[in-house]
A and B are shown apart, each in its own frame.
Chain A
Amino acid sequence: MTPDLVLFDLLLIGALLALASACLFSAELQRAVILFIVFGLLLTLVWARLQAPDVALAEAAIGAGLSGALLLAAARRLARRGGRPEDRP
């Protein structure tokens, strides 16, 4: 176990948690969705780092890609309709 690998791990984990927090605490919905997609892409990197290439492929295509596309479409629709996007059940 080399020290710079641990440093890389720490940086990766720090970035992952920071992105997750930014996404979950973001005031604006569309922004939160985009941050979620970026979070998914960073997670792909984590899977690759942990030697899980199959999971990385699936995460990029499904976890970040398709979930992101679905959420983004929903967020766009809410924004387009104006309405009160913040008080859905």
Chain B
Amino acid sequence: MITALLYTAAGLLLFCLGLWSFLMHRPLLRKLIALNVMGSGVFLVFVALAYRGPEGAPDPVPHALVLTGIVVAVSATALALALGRRLEEAERD
């Protein structure tokens, strides 16, 4: 249980650090990195609560949810970067 609690705390801290950075920075890339760190924090919480000791098999459902979340996060990052690149071009013209 102590392991789950420790890693949950780490995940929540990552979420809050990312949120702070998201609110404090204006550049797109900074905000995207911040969102990805926030996402990693939430994923860490999910995986931590799936952990059931060194002997017990972990709960596979949160693992599957996190896999889904990772793919969703990379999709969103890629779309945001493409829009950002397009905006740069529009601003240069």
Contacts and interface: CB of A to CB of B under 8 A. Distances in A.
Interface of A: 1, 5-6, 9-10, 13, 16-17, 20-21, 23-25, 29, 32-33, 36, 39-40, 43, 46-47, 50-52, 54-55, 58-59, 62-63, 66-67, 70-71, 73-75, 77-78, 81, 83, 85-89
Contact of B70 (A5, A9, A20, A59): A59
Contact of B66 (A39, A52, A78): A52
Interface band, chain B: 35 or more
Contacts of B81: 70-71, 73-74
Contacts of B44: 43, 46
Q: Dominant SS at the B interface?
A: helix
Nearest to A13: B10
B10 A17 contact: yes
Given A1-B2, A24-B33, A55-B47, A67 B66 contact: no
B26 A63 contact: no
A79 B21 CA distance: 21
Contacts of A43: 40, 44
B18 A24 contact: yes
